[in-house]
Structure formats: structure tokens, C-alpha cells
Amino acid sequence: MSVKASISLSESQDAFARDLVAQGRFASVSAVLQQGLELLRAETETRAAETEALRALLDDRRTGPFSGMDEMRQGTRAMLARKKAQYGL
């Protein structure tokens, strides 16, 4: 279902949208704007998901067990040794 809306564009935005239509990339200026809004919606949803994942990671780090520097170095060395062995290095 489509909803009619009145919007204002700058002259450069209008020229850009009309140029895209003239190039045949879109059927109409309305289609250009719809695509732009879909891209903005997807970007906003992605950013929100990334922010939530980062918050969850930070909460997990804050409430999880503390790993000291030596323990982390040992874990890194062990991981590298496993990878080297896996690839015959």
C-alpha cells in the first residue's frame, strides 16, 4: 500500500534524483526516494543490532570471569599452536 506524502527537496537533491531517473536506474523520483528510505532503514536497523551486540558483549565482559594478562597470552599461544598444527606449520 502506498501513502502519498508531500516532501521538500533541495535543488541538488531534486536534480540528482531526476538524473537517476533519466539514466533509467529508477522509474520515478518517488522510486529513488523509496530506495533511499529503504537503505536508511536497513542502515538504522544494522546499527541498532550492532549496538545491542556490543552492549551484550560489554555486559558479558563486565559480569564474566576476569582473565589476567598472563592467562590471555597463554591462551593466544595455545590457539596459535593449534592453528599451526592444523595447517602443518
- Sign of the CA dihedral 35, 41, 44, 48? negative
C-alpha cell, 40: 536508511
| Separation of alpha carbons 45 and 23, rounded Å | 30
C-alpha cell at 48: 541498532
| Predicted local distance difference test score (pLDDT) of residue 51 | 98
Enter the pTM of the model.
Answer: 0.63
Q: Decide if 39 contacts 47 (C-beta within 8 A).
A: no
Domains in the chain: boundaries: 11-86
Task: Write down the pLDDT at residue 52.
Answer: 97
Computed over every residue of the chain, the mean pLDDT equals 94
pLDDT at 66 over 90: no
Distance CA 54, CA 71 (A): 23
